[in-house]
Amino acid sequence: MSFPSNAIEPLSFREALGHYASGITVITSHIDGEPIGFTCQSFYSVSMNPPLVSFSVMSTSASYPKIRQAGRFVVNILSGEQIKISNQFARRGTDKWHGVEWQESPLGNPIIVGSLHWLDCEIHAEHSAGDHLIVIGEVKALNLQETAATQPLLYFKGQYCNIAAHNSV
C-alpha cells in the first residue's frame, strides 16, 4: 500500500488515474474552412439546467486556441469501432482528418460519421487549472437520430476495451 507523501510522482499519478474507466470523445470545431479536433478522455457532464458539459485540455494544445476562436465545439462520443479515429486525433502534426467522413452540426461543427452520439456546444466558460484549461460548454443541440453504432469505446489502464468482448461467453 502507498501512503501519502509530499511529492506525487507523475507516473504514479497517471497510473492511479488509469483505474478510472471512461469513454473516449473527439472534440471538434471548424474555423476559417479548417476542421479541427483532438482526442479527449476528460469529458463529463456538469449541469442539467442549463445543460452544461466540460472537458480539460492541455494548455499547449494546438487545437484549443482555434476552438476558442470559433467559440463552439462538438463532443463526438466514440463507438467501439473507432479506435483508429481515437489514435488519429491524438497525433499532433499529422493530417488528423485523413479519410475521416464528417457532417456539419446545427452550429457548424464537424460531426464524425460513425460516432455513438454527439453534443453541439457553445463555449460557456474557461478556467485555468495547472497545466490544463477546464472548458465548459452549453449544449445547444444533440443527436436525435438512431445511430448504427451501439457500443462505446472504453478506456481503462491506458488501453481500449470493448464491453461486447467481455459480455460474450
Ligand X SMILES: Cc1cc2nc3c(=O)[nH]c(=O)nc-3n(C[C@H](O)[C@H](O)[C@H](O)COP(=O)(O)O)c2cc1C
Residue 21 or 106: the one with the smaller Cβ distance to ligand X is: 21
Residue 37 or 105: the one with the smaller Cβ distance to ligand X is: 37
Taking the complex as a whole, the smallest distance from the CB of residue 91 to ligand X amounts, in Å, to: 6
Contact 99, 112 (CB under 8 A): no
Q: Which residues of the chain form contacts with ligand X (CB under 6 A)?
A: 24, 38-42, 56-58, 61-64, 86, 90-92, 155
Residue 89 host element (H or E)? none
Name the 3-class secondary structure at 116. coil
Taking the complex as a whole, the smallest distance from the CB of residue 168 to ligand X amounts, in Å, to: 24
Taking the complex as a whole, the smallest distance from the CB of residue 65 to ligand X amounts, in Å, to: 9
At position 113, the amino acid (one-letter code) is: V
Residue 54 or 105: the one with the smaller Cβ distance to ligand X is: 54
Measured distance CA(113)–CA(98) in Å, rounded: 13
Residue 21 or 62: the one with the smaller Cβ distance to ligand X is: 62
Minimal CA–CA distance to 123: which of 165, 78, 69?
A: 69
Across the beta sheet with 52-58, the strand order is 34-40, 25-31, 72-77, 117-129, 132-142, 52-58, 44-47
Residue 63 or 109: the one with the smaller Cβ distance to ligand X is: 63
Taking the complex as a whole, the smallest distance from the CB of residue 86 to ligand X amounts, in Å, to: 6
Taking the complex as a whole, the smallest distance from the CB of residue 62 to ligand X amounts, in Å, to: 4
Q: What are phi and psi of 74, to 5 degrees?
A: -115, 140
Contact 115, 77 (CB under 8 A): yes
